[in-house]
């Protein structure tokens, strides 16, 4: 793109970087991270600062602006998109390519000696701050907090922070009361000798309190902060307009939005909620910190602005305990996830049966109209709330863009001449789904089928493997890649992410990638993850096959050193297109696995399609689940 639509923005930012009425001291570089003050992956429009500044709208990427340069770091999922969206003021820094410097190394080398690098301490976590600060320091530079966000200063039409109402989630969906969850959290605090815990991640708060919101598209969370005290008292910082009477009742709030006066201290057996305005968190936290007999737990993944309020020797920076709790689904959550996946599979059967007919009849269907139709089929299902992310509905060369989102400018028809890749998911009150299928409505090339079959071999290899409980996810990654590596192919994304229960579709702390997830507690029973290898031929086609899976005990014939071997079980039950498979490339075991998978698809999804009287979808399901033979 030759136009330089960011020129004026960069000029204004560079001027502010030297304006000491805005920054305390002049800075030679300014970092604009991707996330919000809650370090969310998906963010509200009001937090799209990096997109506003650079034009790049992907979900991951960091902009760095110096007096003369503007660089954007992003990962392999977004190289194509970033190349298209960035104008010529910008340099794309491809993360994961060995020759690409880190932001710290690049700044250290590029800046004149003694430079100051500024960042908004709300948008930068402590674990981002510490190493970058060290790197810069060792090159004679300094990382400094810039309290006033300078992007906000120049963002004339910045949207306001969303403030939608919050909904309680009933115990029939959550399986555990928020009070019991808080008690578990207090136990973790005691074990770490902490008397105060600040939660800043929106999904931590939503899960812990059994509340859901709609402040961020696709992520049923709401803007808030939560302080948990050792005595079981919880302080929720939230815009009062979001708190309906149903929420007040759910939280047993007798008092209103003001701080409640207690006549006696609650014991650890009681759990008491108090509401405060969203903006009051800093002041309240600072006041509480000064009174703490023990340590204060603020995850290093929270904004460094909060950690800075606590003296270093009082700070516990460990990962929030809620992160580990919500990763292990309880029986009610897991049953909900299973049920949501059957409903979701029914919607996909309706969609593919419809799409096949449309393409056959040469009626015009485009990426966008197909995605809309799919959303409609999902909406027919009970307890459907919305999509869990932007549908990646991508045809032909668009499918090679890993995190593609169709727009009016890029929208392509879906035809019988090229591959169609559809990665989509739903939020249901009983669970979150995420599924990718790649199909061809005409005659795929031999190379496309070879690649598809290798992706499928990898997916099968991972799906069927046994592993000792608690090994880190990164250990398994190669199983999904081996069949591609065997012929010099690969894919530039991870193989698996965790998934929330009616929460974020990307949920930590575990995952399966060649990269190590630093907080991965080890793969354990009742975790839910994706299994999604792929292959992308730039400018031609893309392939991805994605199921969600749960971890279950495997009970093999031996149990070496009581390691408790586990395996995966599919949650997703949508047929895999047989036309794309070269059966001769599969082992006997792989054929048996795929045939068995298709039998399960029938057994689990056909009854719902029958009940819903979806005859075409049912016929499609029966045909697509015939054995490979």
Which residues of this chain interact with its own copies, rule CB under 8 A?
98, 137-138, 140, 313, 316, 465-468, 470-472, 474-479, 482, 484-490, 492, 514, 516, 522, 554, 556-561, 563, 565, 587
CB of 468 to its own copies, least distance (A): 6
* CB atoms near residue 450 (< 10 Å): 17
CA angle centred on 274, ends 273 and 279, rounded to 5°:
130
CA distances from 79 to 97, 99, 204, 523 (A): 11, 15, 31, 30
Q: What is the DSSP secondary-structure string of 521-533?
A: ----TT-EEEE--
Pick between residue 313 and residue 613 the one whose CB is nearest to its own copies. Answer: 313
**C-alpha gyration radius of the chain:** 25
Identify the three-state secondary structure at position 547. strand
**Which of residues 175 and 522 has its CB atom nearest to its own copies in the complex?**
522
Q: Rounding to the nearest 10 degrees, give the CA dihedral for residues 399, 400, 402, 405.
A: -40
Rounded to whole angstroms, how far apart are CA atoms 194 and 317?
11
CB of residue 396 vs its own copies: minimum separation in angstroms? Answer: 20
The structure tokens listed for 434 are 């995420």
Q: How far is the CB of 361 from its own copies (least distance, A)?
A: 37
Considering the complex, state which of residue 2 and residue 487 has its C-beta at the smaller distance from its own copies: 487
Token pair of 34 as six digits = 């991707």
- Smaller CB separation from its own copies, 288 or 520: 520
Backbone angles phi, psi at 443, to 5 degrees: -115, 105
> Minimum Å distance from CB 324 to its own copies?
13
CB 45 within 8 A of CB 37: no
**48 vs 53: CA distance, rounded Å:** 9
Give whichever of 363 and 561 is closer to its own copies, judged by the CB atom.
561
β-pair partners for 320 = none
Cβ contacts of 258 within 8 Å, gap of 6 or more: 275
Q: How far is the CB of 138 from its own copies (least distance, A)?
A: 6
**Of 415 and 537, which has the nearer Cβ to its own copies?**
537
CA distance 377 to 373: 6
Instruction: Give 597's Cβ-side CA count (13 Å radius).
Output: 26
* Distance of alpha carbon 120 from alpha carbon 37, whole angstroms: 9
Cβ neighbors of 300 (< 8 A, separation 6 or more) are 125, 126, 127, 130, 307, 317, 318, 319
**Residues 224 and 205 sit within 8 Å (Cβ to Cβ):** yes
Q: Which of 606, 581, 607 is nearest to 594 (CA)?
A: 581
Shortest Å distance, C-beta 8 to its own copies: 36
* 8 Å CB contact between 1 and 87: yes
Alpha-carbon distance of 535 to 453, in angstroms, equals 10
| DSSP label at residue 361 | T
Task: Tell me how far, at minimum, the Cβ of 560 lies from its own copies, in Å.
Answer: 5
Full DSSP string of 33-73: -SS-TT--SS--GGG-HHHHHHS---SS-EEEEESS-EEEE
Nearer to its own copies, 316 or 387 (CB): 316
Quote the least distance from Cβ 552 to its own copies, whole Å.
14
The 10 Å Cβ neighbour count of residue 342 is 20
Question: Please, are residues 192 and 295 in contact by the beta-carbon 8 Å criterion?
Answer: yes
> What is the closest distance, in whole angstroms, from the C-beta atom of residue 532 to its own copies in the complex?
18
Query: Closest CB to its own copies among 19 and 485?
Result: 485
Q: In angstroms, what is the minimal distance from the CB of 34 to its own copies?
A: 24
Distance of CA 326 to the CA centre of its chain: 14
Helix (H) or strand (E) holding 80: helix 79-85
Could you tell me the smallest distance in angstroms from the CB atom of residue 535 to its own copies?
8
Q: Which is nearer to its own copies, 378 or 544 (CB)?
A: 544
Least spacing, CB of residue 547 vs its own copies, in Å: 20
Minimum distance from CB of 461 to its own copies (Å)?
9
| Residue 81 or 474 with smaller CB distance to its own copies | 474
- Closest contact distance (angstroms) between CB of 538 and its own copies is 9
393 within 8 A of 542, measured Cβ to Cβ: no
Nearer to its own copies among residue 7 and residue 514 (C-beta): 514
Give the nearer residue to its own copies in terms of CB position, either 246 or 485.
485
């Amino acid at each position: 793109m030759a136009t330089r639509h960011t020129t004026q923005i960069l000029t204004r930012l560079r001027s502010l970087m030297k304006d000491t009425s805005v920054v305390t001291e002049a800075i030679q570089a300014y970092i604009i991270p991707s996330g919000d003050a809650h370090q969310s992956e998906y963010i509200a429009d009001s937090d799209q600062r990096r997109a506003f500044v650079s034009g790049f709208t992907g979900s991951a990427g960091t902009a760095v602006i110096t007096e003369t340069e503007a660089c954007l770091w992003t990962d392999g999922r977004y190289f194509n998109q970033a190349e298209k969206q960035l104008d010529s003021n910008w340099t794309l820094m491809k993360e994961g390519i060995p020759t690409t410097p880190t932001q710290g190394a690049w700044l250290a080398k590029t800046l004149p000696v003694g430079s100051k690098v500024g960042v908004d301490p709300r948008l930068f976590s402590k674990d981002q701050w510490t190493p970058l600060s060290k790197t810069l320091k060792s090159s004679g530079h300094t990382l400094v907090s810039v309290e006033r966000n300078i992007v906000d200063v120049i963002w004339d039409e910045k949207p306001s922070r969303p403030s939608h109402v919050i909904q309680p989630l009933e115990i029939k969906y959550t399986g555990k009361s928020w009070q019991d969850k808080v008690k578990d959290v207090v136990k973790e605090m005691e074990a770490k000798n902490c008397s105060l815990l600040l939660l800043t991640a929106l999904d931590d708060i939503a899960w812990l309190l059994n509340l859901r919101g709609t402040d961020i598209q696709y992520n049923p969370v709401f803007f808030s902060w939560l302080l948990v005290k050792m005595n079981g008292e919880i302080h929720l910082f939230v815009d009062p307009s979001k708190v309906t009477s149903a929420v007040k009742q759910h939280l047993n709030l007798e008092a209103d939005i003001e701080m409640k006066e207690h006549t006696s201290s609650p014991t650890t057996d009681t759990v008491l909620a108090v509401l405060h305005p969203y903006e009051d968190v800093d002041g309240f936290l600072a006041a509480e910190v000064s009174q703490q007999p023990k340590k204060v737990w603020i995850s290093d993944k929270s904004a460094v602005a909060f950690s800075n309020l606590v003296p270093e020797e009082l700070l516990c920076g460990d990962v929030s305990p809620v992160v580990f709790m919500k990763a292990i689904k309880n029986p009610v959550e897991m049953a909900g996830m299973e049920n949501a996946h059957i409903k979701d599979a029914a919607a996909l059967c309706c969609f593919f049966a419809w799409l096949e007919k449309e393409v056959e009849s040469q009626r015009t269907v485009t990426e966008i109209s197909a995605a809309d139709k799919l959303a409609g089929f999902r909406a027919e299902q009970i307890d459907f709330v919305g999509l869990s992310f932007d549908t990646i509905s991508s045809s032909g060369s668009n499918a090679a863009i890993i995190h593609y989102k169709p727009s009016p400018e890029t929208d392509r028809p879906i035809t019988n001449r090229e591959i169609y890749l559809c990665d989509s998911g739903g939020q249901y009150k009983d669970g979150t789904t995420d599924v990718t299928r790649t199909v061809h409505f005409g005659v795929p090339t031999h190379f496309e089928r070879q690649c598809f079959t290798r992706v499928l071999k990898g997916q099968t290899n991972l799906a069927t493997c046994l592993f000792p409980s608690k090994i880190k996810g990164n250990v398994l990654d190669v199983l999904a890649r081996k069949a591609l590596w065997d012929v010099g192919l690969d894919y530039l994304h991870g193989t698996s992410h965790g998934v929330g229960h009616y929460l974020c579709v990307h949920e930590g702390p575990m995952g399966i990638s060649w990269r190590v997830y630093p907080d991965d507690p080890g793969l354990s029973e009742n975790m839910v993850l994706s299994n999604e290898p792929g292959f992308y031929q730039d400018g031609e086609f893309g392939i991805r096959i994605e199921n969600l899976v749960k971890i279950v005990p495997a009970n093999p014939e031996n149990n070496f050193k009581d390691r408790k071997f586990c395996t995966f079980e599919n949650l997703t039950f949508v047929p895999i297109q047989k036309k794309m498979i070269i059966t001769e490339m599969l082992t006997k075991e792989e054929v048996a696995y795929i045939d068995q998978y298709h039998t399960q698809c029938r057994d689990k999804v056909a009854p719902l399609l029958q009940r819903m009287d979806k005859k075409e979808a049912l016929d499609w399901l029966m045909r697509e689940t015939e054995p490979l033979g």
